[in-house]
Chains A and B, each alone.
Chain A
């Protein structure tokens, strides 16, 4: 039943006018989630907000937040769970952003963290000019868009080229324990952050024609190392 949700999300992305995957993701989200403003932004440790892709309305909203140094994108990233404001007129969470957003004609805003476990890279934020909460279905779809968005951001951070990204996603957005364990292992082997390690795993799977899960199983089973060294037989076993 839920699997159809992923299909719906990916179809919406695929049906957008040709262009970079990131832009099509925002366009698809705007359409499916009924929010003219959509933006995906990276947030760095020093609280720098960098918008990677956005519809026009989304870009304005993110610029406003970046200028003021506060807003739903920051909050969602910090707390690691969605921030849902169905009526900005009735909300006083952000003393600067709130009034500025209302003055610009925005009435509701919904921010979702781009997160997987302890990996947090930024947010996907929806802006609407009418008040009202997301309906359950839109909320569930938004969570899927945010998951796809996270994988996209990680791939971009890992320096994958734009024309490669589409195919990279055919490897799927795996979510098994082994994939997360393997991300941790590879992060130590390569001395990189766990998010980047996940992107490296995905790229390795893609280039080898394997599924992400297969590569993860090999890493966890100590049959494969991604730092070029050969795996030691029997290492890390009981």
Chain B
């Protein structure tokens, strides 16, 4: 790997730029799912991982999928299995980062997770906690296609990205007065659930697969500059349907 002063400087510049951009979006009325998706997309663009995602804990103590760099069903399933086993599960229960250099060595530790991840084309993973004081709110999950895991030199960057995700979570403006962390978490999870409900409706109305339904929702949200969670809510309330989404 090249580590000339020039590339290091370039990487640092891109990093600073990324944090500034992310901070910028927090100033306005932002959509948390979009924010976390953008954050995981930046993780990939910075070359930290091939794909990345964020899980948050719900009121029952289960980890729920919130956002990913590539919102695809195969990735969703990789997150879901981590309620039972996997790096995010361990990261959440221990409150510490979990790094795996080669998934092929972890088939006994996490039989289902390792199998699914390897089948999806990943070789190493990392999970970092979303931490607030003593509480773990969830985890950020990084997937790499090569063995070796996330480089030592960028571990602090990865944790910083996870911390930015936590800040985003606590910055939701739609909430009434000061709210507890649990309520903020739950509010975030409800935004995600609305999207899943809307995906189901659109997939049935337009007769398309779940991933395509998400793309339809997101395209409408972006084209019309309406928050994804609001578009989803309109779909669930029956004020928007697949046909209008596709024409708008």
Residues of chain A at the chain B interface (Cβ within 8 Å): 1-3, 5-6, 75, 79-84, 115-119, 136, 139-140, 143-144, 147, 173, 175-177, 180-189, 194, 220, 235-238
Complex Cα distance A143/B212, Å?
33
> Could you say which of B16-24, B112-120, B176-184 contacts chain A?
B176-184
A140 and B59 form a contact (CB under 8 A)? yes
* Given known contacts A185-B204, A235-B207, A117 and B57 CB-to-CB distance under 8 angstroms: no
Of A147, A184, A235, A237, which is within 8 A of B60 by CB? A147
Task: Tell me if B122 is interfacial: C-beta within 8 Å of chain A.
Answer: no
A188 and B183 form a contact (CB under 8 A)? no
A and B contact pairs by CB, cutoff 8 A, 19 listed: A6-B61, A75-B176, A81-B174, A83-B176, A84-B177, A84-B180, A115-B190, A117-B194, A117-B195, A118-B193, A118-B194, A118-B198, A118-B236, A144-B59, A144-B60, A184-B198, A187-B201, A188-B204, A237-B209
* Given known contacts A180-B196, A189-B204, A194 and B59 CB-to-CB distance under 8 angstroms: no
A6 and B60 form a contact (CB under 8 A)? yes
Closest to B198 in A: A184
Complex Cα distance A180/B214, Å?
13
Task: Tell me if B100 is interfacial: C-beta within 8 Å of chain A.
Answer: no
Shortest beta-carbon distance from B220 to chain A in Å: 15
For window 191-219 of B, CB contacts with A under 8 Å fall at: 191-205, 207-212
Q: How many residue pairs between the two chains, A and B, have CB atoms under 8 Å in the bound complex? A: 137
B236 and A119 form a contact (CB under 8 A)? yes
Complex Cα distance A182/B207, Å?
14
Complex Cα distance A238/B213, Å?
11
A81 and B179 form a contact (CB under 8 A)? yes
A236 and B65 form a contact (CB under 8 A)? no
Complex Cα distance A140/B182, Å?
7
Closest to B234 in A: A118
Complex Cα distance A136/B190, Å?
20
A118 and B237 form a contact (CB under 8 A)? yes
Task: Tell me if B70 is interfacial: C-beta within 8 Å of chain A.
Answer: no
Complex Cα distance A15/B209, Å?
45
Task: Tell me if B232 is interfacial: C-beta within 8 Å of chain A.
Answer: yes
A184 and B204 form a contact (CB under 8 A)? yes
Across-interface contacts of B209 in A (CB, < 8 A): 236-238
Please, what's the 1-or-0 string for B162-189, where 1 marks a CB less than 8 Å from any CB in chain A? Answer: 0000000000001111011011001100
Shortest beta-carbon distance from A111 to chain B in Å: 10
Task: Tell me if B126 is interfacial: C-beta within 8 Å of chain A.
Answer: no
Across-interface contacts of A147 in B (CB, < 8 A): 59-60
* Given known contacts A75-B176, A175-B58, A80 and B190 CB-to-CB distance under 8 angstroms: yes
* Given known contacts A118-B236, A147-B60, A238-B209, A80 and B200 CB-to-CB distance under 8 angstroms: no
B197 and A82 form a contact (CB under 8 A)? no
Shortest beta-carbon distance from B126 to chain A in Å: 23
Of A5, A176, A187, which is within 8 A of B80 by CB? A176
Closest to B192 in A: A117
Task: Tell me if B124 is interfacial: C-beta within 8 Å of chain A.
Answer: no
Shortest beta-carbon distance from B4 to chain A in Å: 44
A180 and B59 form a contact (CB under 8 A)? no
Across-interface contacts of B205 in A (CB, < 8 A): 188
Across-interface contacts of B193 in A (CB, < 8 A): 116-118, 175, 180
